[in-house]
Amino acid sequence: MGVPMRQRSWTCYAARVSTTAPIAKSAAPRHAAVVRVTHWLTVIAFFALLISGMEIVISHPRFYWGEVGNVNTQPAFVIPIPSSRGSVPTGYKFEMPDENGWSRYLHFEAAWLLVLTGLVYVVYGLGTGHFRRNLAPARGERSWRDYRDVLRKTLRREKTDAAEAHTYNAVQRATYLVVIFGLIPLVIWTGLAMSPAFTAAMPWVVEALGGRQTARTLHFFVSWALVLFVVVHVTMISMAGFRSRMRAMVTGRAAAREGA
Amino acid sequence: MKPVTRRKFMTAGIAATVGVAGVAVADRLARRYGLLPPDDGGIYGPGETLTYAAQRILGRHALAREFPRSMISATPFLNPVAPPSDAFKRSQASGFSDWRLAVDGMVAHPGSFSMADLKSMGTRSQITEVACEEGWSYIAEWIGTPLRDVLQEVGVHPQARYVAYFSIDHDWWDSMDMGDALHPQTLLTWGMNDEDLPVGFGGPLRMRVPRQLGYKNVKYITRLTVTDSMKGIRDGLGSAAPAGGYSWYAGI
């Protein structure tokens, strides 16, 4: 991707200059080292969890509400795919290979990577003011109109100014906060609610959700919400200039002269 | 690229040293307090160890959730197993009157118990959920003899750390640590929902470990071995599960 791509770069990084964070023309990196490292560790954990999670779902592609659910009970919904277990009635004549063993090993190891990386990131973010400065809604960008403006500009693919490369706009900030403090904690919570030993120690974790099968079904939905986020995230990055955004998240340097 | 400053270099050096020392100390502590699972090697070893250690620190004595009688599943799922062996069929024909549970290993009085012996030792019932690693679950009342009553009867040596349990099917076995073995809800189960435990659900004798997933609840138990290490037993991984790709600890 060359110059034309760069010229069409508007959205991903802020429609407006944040009044609380003046643009640093100095050597300050676009993304701090801790942010970059935890970002890529989270990417690794996310895809390991997604692939292994899908394999685990294949062994029982039926979902239920409440405490219990099995092939003898009414499902809330069924994913119309073949199963890796012959005991699940799917309507298909063949069985998928059983991949649950390594999938479970990988799922929980990747879950630890996600949790530990997340802890480092959150401690860093609170300690350095990263959340307050970069992710909390910027002063003067807290009305509904600000969100609407960003969405309109994005959808119309309007050009925005060069400051975009150095800060996040209102919609980006809201989205990242929902993912970091909403969806990821929720996916961890609903996952832990399926652990028989964890719920022995802390029964409220599953009881507050309304039962083990409800926890499993919510875990599935929240996972897809995260997939949706990743798809939009990568799409926006591609629109804004994939190479410059990747360089910023890998090396920390924003593309200063590109206006990207 | 900016040059690396001395301060940065030293900070990184100290951080790396602390990190390596921290892992070494954590490993020593994990060994001392029995927080390493038998399948702690390989690329999934760190994840398994973290999971097992965290769960043991979090709630060694916590009780699995129990449910009211009204929540017992009307149609529990009967998970099919391999067809029974000839030895099993012979015992079944006699109403399991000749079924024996042998107990050996690190015990003061190795022995062998009939179903009547077990039932005379102590009875406990609980209404708990069986949850399979595939995702399905059901609730039933389980009636049996607490494993710890059997272990008290035979006198477990203080250095014992695991109880291995074997099915009549040679390839089906598993093990648990003493925390689960002495746990009041761990039952050598012979009854279900006020009846004898049906063969399909593991009768005449099934290990019920409600703080772990379904596959630790091995059916048709004939032998227990008490040991201080899983190294000498079969493939040394503590269970038939790791050989099949599944983790030894199934509390998650």
When CB atoms are compared, the residue of B44, B62, B75 closest to A105 is B44
Asked if A202 is an interface residue toward chain B (Cβ–Cβ < 8 A), one would say yes
CA distance A108 to chain B (A): 6
**Chain B residue closest to A215 (CA)?**
B135
Mean per-residue pLDDT, A238-254: 86
Q: What is the pLDDT of residue A13?
A: 42
CA distance A31 to chain B (A): 15
Higher pLDDT, B133 or A167: B133
Q: What is the pLDDT of residue A258?
A: 45
Mean pLDDT of the residues in chain B:
91
**Chain B residue closest to A73 (CA)?**
B75
A15 pLDDT exceeds 80?
no
Q: What is the pLDDT of residue A161?
A: 59
pLDDT band, residue A255 (cuts 50/70/90): low
pLDDT band, residue B171 (cuts 50/70/90): confident
pLDDT band, residue B140 (cuts 50/70/90): very high
Question: What digits encode the pLDDT tens for the residues B6-57?
Answer: 787 888 888 888 888 888 888 888 888 888 888 888 899 999 999 999 999 8
How many CA atoms does the CB half-sphere of A136 hold within 13 Å?
11
Contacts of A215 in chain B (CB under 8 A): none
CA distance A156 to chain B (A): 38
User: Cβ–Cβ of A197/B244 closer than 8 Å?
Assistant: no
The residue extents of the domains of chain B are 64-243
Q: What is the pLDDT of residue A214?
A: 98
Q: What is the pLDDT of residue A2?
A: 38
First to last CA, chain B: 45
Domain B64-243, architecture per CATH: Alpha-Beta Complex (3.90)
User: Cβ–Cβ of B212/A69 closer than 8 Å?
Assistant: no
CA distance A111 to chain B (A): 8
User: Cβ–Cβ of B139/A68 closer than 8 Å?
Assistant: yes
| pTM (predicted TM-score) | 0.87
**What domains appear along chain A, each with residue ranges and CATH number?**
29-48+99-251 (1.20.950.20)
pLDDT band, residue A259 (cuts 50/70/90): very low
When CB atoms are compared, the residue of A72, A104, A216 closest to B75 is A72
Could you please report the per-residue DSSP string of chain A? --HHHHHT--SSS-SS--SSSPPP-SS--SS-HHHHHHHHHHHHHHHHHHHHHHHHHHT--EE-SSS-B-TTS--SEE--S--S-TTS--S-SS-----HHHHHHHHHHHHHHHHHHHHHHHHHHHHHTHIIIIISPPTT--SHHHHHHHHHHHHHT----GGGGGS--HHHHHHHHHIIIIIHHHHHHHHHTT-HHHHHH-THHHHTTTSHHHHHHHHHHHHHHHHHHHHHHHHHHHHHHHHHHHHHHHH----TTTT-
User: Cβ–Cβ of B252/A195 closer than 8 Å?
Assistant: yes
Residue to substitute from B1, B137, B212, B237, interface A, most A β-carbons within 10 A: B137
Chain B contact residues (CB < 8 Å to A): 2, 43-44, 46-48, 50-51, 55, 58-59, 62-65, 67, 71, 73, 75-77, 79-80, 129, 131-139, 210-213, 241, 244-247, 251-252
